[in-house]
Amino acid sequence: MIELQDISVAFTGKGHAIRAVRNVSLRIGQGEIYGIVGTSGAGKSTLLRTINLLERPDSGRVVLDGRDITNLRGAALRRERQRIGMVFQHFNLLHTSTVYDNVAFTLEIAGKSRQEISERVPELLNLVGLADKAGAYPAQLSGGQKQRVGIARAIANHPEVLLCDEPTSALDLETSASILELLQEVNARLGITIVLISHEMSVIKKICTRVAVMDAGEVIEEGDVYDIFATPQQPFTRQLVDHTFNLDLPQRLTQELSGTLLKILFLGDRAETPVLSDVTLRFGVSVNILHGKIEYINNRAIGLLVALLGNGPDVPQSLTGSARIASAVEFIRSNTARVEVLHA
């Protein structure tokens, strides 16, 4: 369990101090994959680095499993750091050492014997799928392979926590996905708590269980990844989420619209009731679906539809067209998670 209590970090820039992290408190549970998301410069990397004290907080406390490590220095700090692995965006491997020696390096730091190292390294290289690359130098590896070495060496000493600083940001999409799968496997098989920062919601969505959203040095929203995606509270979070769903319509469509354009959010079981077909029957409106997406986050569904409501052919005489559409919107609103009117 990692507890960050009221952490602040300031940098002295040109003449004035910049507060990179402001009064952040987080609790990260054992075995979680915890994401920290935000734009670059939001302070997420600084916050992550306070966990192993690469960045010393100006105020606040870092507590690992009940041990306050904030003021540790020297050998005591180095011992603590051996229990915290770290994976970097740019891998940071020793260029002049082979893959084997890079992994052996962290074991040497922990004072392991040559015998133990020669048993452990092949085991780790097997785990990350690089058994045949032991003798290669980093320059001979692809980005994804380098990051696999980075992960192997980071978990070599059986750490309790693995800090991942933008682990996939230097990789292409496909490689990125395989690295995330590997991290997930590390978490599931070895029970290592992972704290991962990323500027991409899609990364968070793929592997994290909980997430903190950072903006300008502060955590503005925190919770289950599903909840953050389903019901973002802050405008900034909503923007991040929208970006991921990416439901932009071509301009041609939005200009020629006649009718009411709705963005409808379906959550969980609700997604399974046939709301839209009910609407056409009950209110005699037409429903034209222009865009849609269903995402599964931690095995739960989030559905988003962009639909255009218009007057149907069978017009019940009792109601005018606009009143019918208004009651149809109300009906949808009461039967789904959220309805946004994009265009009336």
Binding site for another protein (CB under 8 A): 52, 54, 75, 77-82, 84-86, 88, 90, 92-97, 105-106, 108-110, 137-140, 153-154, 157, 163
Q: Kindly tell me which of 35 and 138 has the beta carbon lying closer to another protein.
A: 138
- DSSP assignment of 160-194 equals SEEEEESTTTTS-HHHHHHHHHHHHHHHHHH--EE
How far is Cα 236 from Cα 152, in angstroms, rounded to an integer? 35
Q: Kindly tell me which of 7 and 141 has the beta carbon lying closer to another protein.
A: 141
Least distance (Å) between residue 98 CB and another protein: 8
Q: Kindly tell me which of 81 and 263 has the beta carbon lying closer to another protein.
A: 81
Given a contact cutoff of 8 angstroms between Cβ atoms, the answer to whether 159 and 82 are in contact is yes
Q: Kindly tell me which of 83 and 291 has the beta carbon lying closer to another protein.
A: 83
Least distance (Å) between residue 109 CB and another protein: 5
Phi-psi region of 298 (alpha: psi -120 to 50; beta: other; left: phi over 0): left
Looking at beta carbons, which pairs linking 317-326 to residues 24 or more positions away fall under 8 Å?
Answer: 324/283, 324/284, 324/285, 325/259, 325/260, 325/283, 325/285
Least distance (Å) between residue 177 CB and another protein: 24
Per 3-state DSSP, what percentage of the chain is helix, strand, and coil (rounded to 5)?
A: 40, 30, 30
Per DSSP bridges, beta strands 84-87 and 33-37 are unpaired
Given a contact cutoff of 8 angstroms between Cβ atoms, the answer to whether 83 and 157 are in contact is yes
Q: Kindly tell me which of 45 and 237 has the beta carbon lying closer to another protein.
A: 45
Q: What is the CA radius of gyration of the chain?
A: 25
Q: Kindly tell me which of 161 and 309 has the beta carbon lying closer to another protein.
A: 161
Q: Kindly tell me which of 196 and 329 has the beta carbon lying closer to another protein.
A: 196
Least distance (Å) between residue 154 CB and another protein: 8
Q: Which two tokens stand for residue 285?
A: 């409106």
Least distance (Å) between residue 155 CB and another protein: 11
Least distance (Å) between residue 144 CB and another protein: 18
Least distance (Å) between residue 79 CB and another protein: 7
Q: Kindly tell me which of 54 and 220 has the beta carbon lying closer to another protein.
A: 54
Least distance (Å) between residue 267 CB and another protein: 40
Taking the alpha carbons of 139, 143, 148, 152 in that order, is the dihedral positive or negative? positive
Q: Which two tokens stand for residue 42?
A: 């939001």
Q: Which two tokens stand for residue 232?
A: 């973002």
Q: Which two tokens stand for residue 27?
A: 């609790």
